[in-house]
Amino acid sequence: MKRLMVFMGLALVCGSMMNYSQAAERTPIILGTATPGGGFELYGNVLAEIVNDADASLNVIARNTRGSRQNIPLLEQGTLDMALVASLPAREAFEGINRPGSTSLKIITAIYPTFGAFAVKGDSPARMFNDLVGQKVAWGTKSSGLTLLGQYVTDALGLDRDKDFDAIYLERAGQGAPMVLKGEVAAQWGGGVGWPNFTKIMQAGGRLVGMSDDQTQKINAKYPFLQPLIIPAGSYPGQAEPLKTVGSFSFLLARADLPEELVYRLSKAIHKGQPELAKRLTQGRDTLPENTWNAAGDPNRIHPGARRYLAELGLD
């Protein structure tokens, strides 16, 4: 019996050492998401779990940040290895709009299309976008790509995001839904299928407020990268009607000097885990290699490691 106990003890120690060794061999990769309660935090945490399950050599570690507009300089500084970045801040960085153009950022994958809409309480009189002009509106956090989307949309419609609305900016994305439900603001601006704030408002009997055909066409005419989108009925709890809006794909970006082999393994793990990602998050159904190729605009924006994997799939 003593020999058996000694043997079992040694086995446990050896097993623990093996587990520790395996964990130590994983390559840590820091992923920047956004503020608590937002869509990027939700998506990033699930993506990290799925990638780590799909490839035992990787250890993706999700970290909260202030959002897309902070993630870009953190990537450029090398503080983050990769980060979730909304389409518009990514485009501004790539093209040098309102800032110097960046060569320090590369696309790993397109994640999902980010559209713009308002969410209101069920008894709100607002039915269309313009009904909220002059009202108190929570636009989101100042570093959020969704907030920047609101600026583009209002500008295309001949409005000023700050002057034509009673603009409220948040410290954390998750603050918006409670403010709507308590009547502290008339609406929350946001978007993307599965966005937690919209889910909470809709579960409480709220509604989504979209745009007219004329408005989506006007926005697209001024900013062609904002495409008219139809958000299908049932995309959120209680959403009985499809929603007309505009939007474009957001990205998982990497710092350009992240090793090619590492990004290749990441891309492969994301593709391998995509069915589980789509099972756990509705928005995960759009995290597909073909969407990455189509949404990038310029293939040179895609990281060499990701392009190598796309080429294996016949997309390069």
Positive/negative CA dihedral, 198, 199, 202, 203: negative
- Token pair 């295309």: residue: 156
Question: From CA 315, how far away is CA 177, in angstroms rounded?
Answer: 40
**Are residues 127 and 232 both part of a single domain?**
yes
Q: Does position 116 have pLDDT exceeding 80, yes or no?
A: yes
**Are residues 138 and 186 both part of a single domain?**
yes
- Lowest mean pLDDT across 22-26, 144-148, 274-278, 291-295: 22-26
- Residue 68: which CATH number? 3.40.190.10
In a domain, 1, yes or no: no
At 192 the pLDDT is 81
Question: From CA 84, how far away is CA 66, in angstroms rounded?
Answer: 11
Stretch 93-100: mean pLDDT: 88
CA 189 to chain centre: 15
Q: Are 229 and 115 in contact (CB under 8 A)?
A: yes
**Are residues 238 and 162 both part of a single domain?**
yes
Cβ neighbourhood burial of 314 (10 Å; 0-12, 13-18, 19+): exposed
Indicate the average pLDDT of the chain: 91
Question: From CA 158, how far away is CA 220, in angstroms rounded?
Answer: 13
Token digits of residue 316 = 């390069």
Q: Which residues contact 16 (CB under 8 A, 6 or more apart)?
A: none
Q: Does position 119 have pLDDT exceeding 90, yes or no?
A: yes
Per-residue confidence band for 232, with pLDDT thresholds at 50, 70 and 90: confident
Per-residue confidence band for 299, with pLDDT thresholds at 50, 70 and 90: very high
**Are residues 135 and 159 both part of a single domain?**
yes
In a domain, 19, yes or no: no
Cβ neighbourhood burial of 119 (10 Å; 0-12, 13-18, 19+): buried
At 24 the pLDDT is 58
Stretch 233-257: mean pLDDT: 94
Helix ranges (DSSP H) in the chain: 2-25, 39-54, 68-77, 87-95, 145-156, 176-181, 196-203, 213-222, 260-280, 289-295, 304-312
**Are residues 242 and 120 both part of a single domain?**
yes
Number of domains in the chain: 2
* Residues paired with 266 in a beta bridge: none
Q: Does position 303 have pLDDT exceeding 80, yes or no?
A: yes
In a domain, 267, yes or no: yes
β-pair type (117-120, 207-209): antiparallel
Q: Does position 68 have pLDDT exceeding 90, yes or no?
A: yes
The range of the structural domain enclosing residue 235 comes to: 115-248
In this prediction the pTM is 0.81
Q: Does position 15 have pLDDT exceeding 60, yes or no?
A: no
Question: From CA 202, how far away is CA 186, in angstroms rounded?
Answer: 14
Token digits of residue 280 = 């756990």
At 2 the pLDDT is 46
Per the model's pLDDT, the better-predicted residue between 229 and 10 turns out to be 229
Stretch 124-151: mean pLDDT: 95
In a domain, 159, yes or no: yes
Token digits of residue 49 = 């779990």
At 231 the pLDDT is 86
Question: From CA 250, how far away is CA 39, in angstroms rounded?
Answer: 11
Q: Are 113 and 37 in contact (CB under 8 A)?
A: no
Q: Are 238 and 202 in contact (CB under 8 A)?
A: yes
Q: How many CA atoms lie within 13 A of 100 on its CB side?
A: 5
Q: Which of 248, 277, 299 is the last residue of a domain?
A: 248
Per the model's pLDDT, the better-predicted residue between 180 and 13 turns out to be 180
**Are residues 213 and 127 both part of a single domain?**
yes
**Are residues 223 and 289 both part of a single domain?**
no
In a domain, 17, yes or no: no
**Are residues 102 and 55 both part of a single domain?**
yes
**Are residues 196 and 258 both part of a single domain?**
no
In a domain, 2, yes or no: no
Query: For 172-217, how does the pLDDT look when each residue is reduced to its tens digit (9 = 90+)?
Result: 989 999 999 999 999 999 988 889 999 999 999 999 999 999 999 9
Per-residue confidence band for 297, with pLDDT thresholds at 50, 70 and 90: confident
In a domain, 18, yes or no: no
